[in-house]
Chain A
Amino acid sequence: DTGVSQNPRHKITKRGQNVTFRCDPISEHNRLYWYRQTLGQGPEFLTYFQNEAQLEKSRLLSDRFSAERPKGSFSTLEIQRTEQGDSAMYLCASSYSYEQYFGPGTRLTVT
């Protein structure tokens, strides 16, 4: 287990299309987090799971965004009807204590 992995690493899509990203956490970590990062800004929290339960969602997470973590293992983040403002780096992190370990991110470009 070499750490948190995310796929795909890059995604280019046209406005209005749906996209789905996957995050595989470190295997013994029960908490999983999604963040979004735009240029020149620090990561902003989107949502997090403890096992399969989604415990918190940010107000940033509009109705077009949905996240799942079936069986408390990997997680998916889906964005429906993408908009140009969704272009960003989407980061996943996992933890079993206070420290969160980050994946490499998925860079989304909406054209």
Chain B
Amino acid sequence: AQRVTQPEKLLSVFKGAPVELKCNYSYSGSPELFWYVQYSRQRLQLLLRHISRESIKGFTADLNKGETSFHLKKPFAQEEDSAMYYCALTVGYGKLTFGQGTILTVHP
């Protein structure tokens, strides 16, 4: 069975500080990992996909198969980064399995 764990429900940082949102997964095969973000009153949108290895809005995420983790990082948080962040996993083109989400608040 697939499972995604985001251990922090809430994360608060000050503007300019580094931020790391943790994500651990369990799946025996080779999943696709994603980070989705939901800003206030907006729809869920894709932030990052592990295979693309891009940096979006200054965020990066590295898949660590040994630790089964896919933590999201940004070196200098901005107030506009305040949102709900979900880590998600899929196998093939099927369903996404989401974590419970982390609410990130960036204080001025």
- Tell whether A95 is near chain B: CB-to-CB under 8 Å: yes
- Tell whether B108 is near chain A: CB-to-CB under 8 Å: no
Prevailing SS type, chain B contact patch:
strand
- Tell whether B46 is near chain A: CB-to-CB under 8 Å: yes
CA distance A24 to B14 in the complex (A): 40
Residues of B within 8 A of A (CB): 4, 9, 32, 34, 36, 43-46, 49, 51, 86, 88, 90, 93-101
Within 8 A of B (CB), among A33-75: 33, 35, 40-45, 48, 50, 55-56, 58
How many residues on A have C-beta within 8 angstroms of the other chain's C-beta atoms?
27
CA distance A41 to B100 in the complex (A): 5
Residues of A within 8 A of B (CB): 3, 31, 33, 35, 40-45, 48, 50, 55-56, 58, 91, 93, 95, 97-105
Contact at B94–A56, with CB atoms within 8 Å? Answer: yes
Contact at B100–A40, with CB atoms within 8 Å? Answer: yes
Q: Report A4 CB to chain B, min CB distance, Å.
A: 8
Q: Report A57 CB to chain B, min CB distance, Å.
A: 10
Contact of A45 with B97 at beta-carbon distance under 8 Å, contacts A98-B32, A98-B90, A99-B34 already known? yes
